[in-house]
Amino acid sequence: MRPPSPSIPEKEFLFASLKASLRLDGRQPLQLRTPELTFGPELGWVECALGKTRVLAQVDAKMVKPPPERPFEGMVSIHSEISPIASPEYEFGRASEEEVTMTRMLDKVLRRSDTIDKESLCVIAGQRVWHVRLAIHCLSDEGNMLDCACLAGIVALRHFRRPEIEVVGDEVTIHDPTERAPIPLAIHHSPFCFTFAFFADTSIPPILDPSHLEQRLSAGLVSIALNAQREICVLQKLGGVPLAPDSILNLVEIAVSRAKELDRLVDDKLKVDWSGRRVEFR
């Protein structure tokens, strides 16, 4: 059951303040909520929070037999589900429209843009490859869950380390992480997703990282996924208010600078976490 739409005073207040470039949580129009990354005890377990939006991402890997058409490539799969835990407006069972968009977008950003080098996941061609599974759980929705999920996903992939293996002939030995240091996945680039919200009243400037209320009252979203090397991986504007080409190009430029900042932040966090972990060698 969808909650009732925001009340008229709420709506008018939001629009009036946005017109004056003020946001209800005190941010600038193009300011991101600073992401908080919490790493779990295991490698590849990351909780990402943008304000009160929280997403948990977890990566694991296991050995499987590759499909005959791709004997040299490992497999990557992404499981994401929006359940009622995130917000009462989501239902169990049938995939909602948000869920379809999110699943597809995660698939495009993290899988189809060749984030992970799949050939490096091959152990014995045609016999054994790694299957990397990324599970994304949306814990709470306070707007812009997509960006949060993308960020959680990419950080989890970079945080994850798979066990070291040894191949002698056809024999594969998987070394326990306590025996030999696990090795990180080969990652080509880290795409970050940025969502901008637009409003029907064109005098309101576009805002980055909309909160739940802003998202509900917006008249269109543009999601841009790109990496710090200025490569756009996905650009998606599905319907909503028509935009002039120049304003879209402006947004791309803004996203480029934000991606660089975010990349630095993620690098730092990962470094701090890794230095705090004790890896034992025997």
Assess 1 for contact with another protein (CB under 8 A).
no
Q: Using CA atoms, how far apart are residues 179 and 148, in angstroms rounded to an integer?
A: 35
To another protein, the closest distance from the beta carbon of 161 in angstroms equals 25
Assess 108 for contact with another protein (CB under 8 A).
yes
Using DSSP's 3-state secondary structure scheme, residue 165 falls into strand
Contacts to another protein from residues 63-102, by CB under 8 A:
95, 97, 100-101
Q: Distance from CA of residue 187 to its chain's centroid?
A: 15
Assess 119 for contact with another protein (CB under 8 A).
no
108 secondary structure, DSSP code: I
Contacts to another protein from residues 202-261, by CB under 8 A:
219-220, 222, 226, 230-245, 248-249, 252-253, 256
Q: Distance from CA of residue 233 to its chain's centroid?
A: 13
Q: Which is nearer to another protein, 61 or 82 (CB)?
A: 82
Handedness of CA 85, 88, 94, 98 (dihedral sign): negative
To another protein, the closest distance from the beta carbon of 206 in angstroms equals 14
Q: Which is nearer to another protein, 29 or 220 (CB)?
A: 220
Assess 104 for contact with another protein (CB under 8 A).
yes
Assess 20 for contact with another protein (CB under 8 A).
no
To another protein, the closest distance from the beta carbon of 162 in angstroms equals 25
Give, to the nearest 10 degrees, the angle between helix 145-159 and helix 97-106. Answer: 30
To another protein, the closest distance from the beta carbon of 99 in angstroms equals 10
Q: Which is nearer to another protein, 235 or 270 (CB)?
A: 235
To another protein, the closest distance from the beta carbon of 203 in angstroms equals 16
Is the separation of the CB atoms in 209 and 144 below 8 Å?
yes
Q: Using CA atoms, how far apart are residues 166 and 133, in angstroms rounded to an integer?
A: 22
To another protein, the closest distance from the beta carbon of 239 in angstroms equals 3
Q: Which is nearer to another protein, 64 or 95 (CB)?
A: 95
Query: 55, exposed or middle or buried, with CB in 10 Å at 0-12, 13-18, 19+?
Result: buried
Q: In the set 19, 62, 112, 175, which binds another protein (CB under 8 A)?
A: 112
Q: Which is nearer to another protein, 97 or 280 (CB)?
A: 97
Contacts to another protein from residues 129-188, by CB under 8 A:
none
Q: Which is nearer to another protein, 9 or 239 (CB)?
A: 239
To another protein, the closest distance from the beta carbon of 269 in angstroms equals 25
157 secondary structure, DSSP code: H
Q: Which is nearer to another protein, 55 or 106 (CB)?
A: 106
DSSP result, 41-89: SSTTEEEEEETTEEEEEEEEEEEEPPPTT-TT--EEEEEEE--TTT-TT
Task: Output the furthest CA–CA distance in the chain (Å, rounded).
Answer: 72
Residue 87 phi, psi dihedral angles, 5° rounding: -170, 145
Q: Which is nearer to another protein, 8 or 20 (CB)?
A: 8
Please tell me the total number of residues recorded for the chain in this structure: 282
Region of 211 on the Ramachandran plot (φ > 0 left; ψ -120 to 50 alpha; else beta): beta
Which residues here bind another protein, judged by CB under 8 A?
95, 97, 100-101, 103-104, 108, 112-114, 219-220, 222, 226, 230-245, 248-249, 252-253, 256
